[in-house]
């Protein structure tokens, strides 16, 4: 069966520090991968998605970036965190064409930028 792992679960970082969040998927190949951010009590904002290694689409201009160095690995990064980067970051995967399928979410990372 397929599983998705995200780490760390929680993170407290000072303003201006770098960020690296990692997400890996097991049990499937060539998944579509997504990074979402959720502010407290709010909806899901799609940040990035990827349909293959090295292929990244950005949905919202920001100081974050994403990379997909391996088929089942998706990394969210920042060189300098802002206060507004605080939130709940969720990685998700889906299989097949973007047009049809279900997204499976990881447990998420709660980021607090102080």
Q: Which of 12, 15, 82, 98 binds another protein (CB under 8 A)?
A: 98
CA dist 56 and 78 (Å) reads 15
Q: Look up residue 40 and give its DSSP letter.
A: T
40 interacts with another protein by CB under 8 A = no
CA dist 33 and 60 (Å) reads 16
- Tell me which residues in 57-96 interact with another protein (CB under 8 A): 90
Tell me how far the alpha carbon of residue 104 is from its chain's centroid.
Answer: 12
Q: Look up residue 63 and give its DSSP letter.
A: S
Q: Which of 28, 65, 67, 105 binds another protein (CB under 8 A)?
A: 105
Candidates 15-23, 60-68, 71-79, 106-114 — which segment interacts with another protein by CB under 8 A?
106-114
CA dist 46 and 42 (Å) reads 13
Q: Which of 14, 43, 54, 69 binds another protein (CB under 8 A)?
A: 43
Residue 75 tokens read as 């990394």
Q: Which of 1, 14, 29, 41 binds another protein (CB under 8 A)?
A: 41
User: Which residues contribute to the site for another protein (CB under 8 A)?
Assistant: 41-44, 46, 49, 90, 98-100, 102-108
């Amino acid at each position: 069966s397929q599983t998705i792992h995200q780490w760390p679960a929680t993170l407290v970082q000072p303003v201006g520090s770098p960020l690296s969040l990692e997400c890996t998927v097991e049990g499937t190949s060539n998944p579509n991968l997504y990074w979402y951010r959720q502010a407290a009590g709010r909806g899901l904002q799609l940040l990035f998605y990827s349909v293959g290694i090295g292929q990244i689409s950005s949905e919202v201009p920001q100081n974050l970036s994403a990379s997909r160095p391996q088929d089942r690995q998706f990394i969210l990064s920042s060189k300098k965190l802002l206060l507004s980067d605080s939130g709940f970051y969720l990685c998700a995967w889906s299989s097949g064409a973007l047009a049809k399928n279900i997204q499976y979410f990881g447990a998420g990372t709660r980021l607090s930028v102080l």
